[in-house]
Amino acid sequence: MTGMGRLAGKVAIVTGAGQGIGEAIARAFAAAGAKVILTGRTLEKIEAVAAAIQSDGATALAIKADAGNANEAAMVIQRAVDEWGRIDVLVNNAHSFTDFLPLEDPKMEANCKVDLQSAFFGSLQMMQAAFPHMVAQGGGSIINFGSDFGIRCEPGFLAYAASKEAIRALTRTAAREWGKHNIRANTILPRAMSPKALWYLEETGTHDAELARVALGRFGVPDDIAPTAVFLASDDSAFVTGQTIGVEGGVTMF
Amino acid sequence: MADAPRVALVTGGAAGMGKATSLKLAADGHSVGIVDIDFDGARAVSDAIVAGGGKALAVRADIGERMQVEQAITQIREALGPITILVNNAAVENFSALEDLDDATWDRLMGINLRGAYVAAQCVLPDMSAAGWGRIINVSAFGAQIGAPNMALYTASKGGIISMTRSLAIELGPKGITVNSVSPGFIDTPMARRAINGGLFPVPYEQIIATYPIPRLGQPEDIAAACAFFASDAAGYITGQVLGVNGGAAM
């Protein structure tokens, strides 16, 4: 199962590609032969990733865009079409998440709106903007991100969990409505520890307990997640749609 | 970078999804042991792999008979080496209304579809444990997830496969073994064609697949690609998962 050429000829957009999982997916897509557009809030970060991809001889383009801004979503999609004439793969990874907060906190509603705007509405906006192009070209693959925290509903993470489950509903609805256009939509539940997530586990004294729940005995890294995105982007998964797949070492068996 | 060549065992590898998976794993560079009750069919698959420059061995066994499974696996291990990829694909179908089911039929099917999968996993476990690396891929069915009339026995066996997948994932994770399930939808296989031609669906199958988000029959190659993905190094952080390859028929 090599990545070589499996995405040759495809154009992919990865949001939130300046670091972590988004960066790993953008690099893996490029290594598999796709042309990749990277979006993010911080231009320097996505430009650095794009430069690294280009120095490996692949094709990448960095575009500054804020997830959850409909105008910027439309701009990114238009740019992809202008540059390369199509959008085969859309990866909605960007998510501005809020901090741990108990349900009864008066700031909860505002927090939920932050998560939903960037991650849920951000995904919806990109999908709506990409839709006519995917229909016109005869299909596409949409990869969205849920979370095992959405399934498990861990205390203190309502805003995150609710937005992630909303995204799963969005994904499955797209699978049903757009399947007839040969547009597939699937959800990955990733587990790759960001520095912030690791800090949180240490701070709350839950690191060891959390690690004990992982059947494979280690926390994931972004490169653990990327191959599943390549599979879902490729024609190897032509009959896979509406599915939720955990890439999380065996914590939440969905 | 390609994965290291390994030895895979595919049960029910003579036809349909098992045949396609055997060919795909061979194309990915692995040696393939093909076990089936249909020896001629299994032999044709192994001949095709060998003709293409790969390594394969076909062995006849009834997956419902422990002794035969043990002997077949021993033979494959001796010929090809320690087995670190297992695809539990062998299964038989049953279409019976509840009032027509009998205990012998129940036990016989469960012995192949569910017990056979555990027996095969148990037989290859020492190889995987010794390697500190293993991939078990259990083929289930979308009917186990959403139900199907006159298929209580078959879907119960496949539901058992899904539950066993999750428990073994937790149990075997510390040994470096992942356990996942590919859950096929309506796939164009000899088994599905028997059902279609036997008039076992209440409406023409074209009407059934027209309701699916991707309105076509799946192909054995769709299943093979998913099994090969789970078998790869790239899928090393995935375990206990059930991946539907069903055109959106079950989400």
pLDDT digits (tens, 9 = 90+) for A184-228: 999 999 999 877 788 888 888 999 999 999 999 999 999 999 999
Split at pLDDT 50, 70, 90, the class of A2 is very low
What is the percentage of chain A residues whose pLDDT exceeds 90? 88
- Give Dmax over CA atoms of chain B in angstroms: 55
* Chain B CA closest to residue A192: B237
Q: How far is CA B117 from CA A19, A41, A242, B138, B157, in A?
A: 41, 49, 27, 8, 10
Joined together, the tokens standing for residue B138 give: 């259990």
pLDDT of residue A99: 86
> DSSP for A124-149?
HHHHHHHHHHHHHHT-EEEEEE--HH
List chain B residues with CB under 8 Å of A237. 225-226, 245
CA angle B46, B228, A172 (to 5 degrees): 140
Q: A200 an active-site residue?
A: no
For residue B212, the distance in angstroms to the closest alpha carbon of chain A comes to: 8
User: Where does residue A162 rank: exposed (0-12), middle (13-18), buried (19+ CB within 10 A)?
Assistant: middle
Joined together, the tokens standing for residue A31 give: 């290594």
Least Cα distance to B58 among B26, B28, B84, B92 occurs for B26
Ordered by start, the domain boundaries in chain B are: 7-245
Q: Sign of torsion, CA B81 B83 B89 B91? A: positive
Joined together, the tokens standing for residue A66 give: 């804020």
CB of B111 within 8 Å of any CB in chain A? no
**Quick check: B247 and A191 CB within 8 A?**
no
**Quick check: A241 and B247 CB within 8 A?**
yes
Contact B180, B138 (CB under 8 A): yes
Q: How far apart are CA B176 and CA B187, in angstroms?
A: 31
CB of A212 within 8 Å of any CB in chain B? no
Single-letter amino acid code for the residue at A147: S
3-class DSSP state for residue B151?
coil
Which of the listed CATH numbers 3.40.50.300, 3.40.50.720, 3.10.310.30, 3.40.50.10860 matches domain B7-245? 3.40.50.720
Given its phi and psi angles, is residue A249 left (phi above 0), alpha (psi -120 to 50 degrees) or beta? left
CA atoms within 13 A on the CB side of A39: 26
pLDDT in tens, B35-80: 999 999 999 999 999 999 999 999 999 999 999 999 999 999 999 9
Q: How far apart are CA A186 and CA B41, in angstroms?
A: 35
Contact A35, A87 (CB under 8 A): no
Record the pTM: 0.96
pLDDT of residue B35: 98
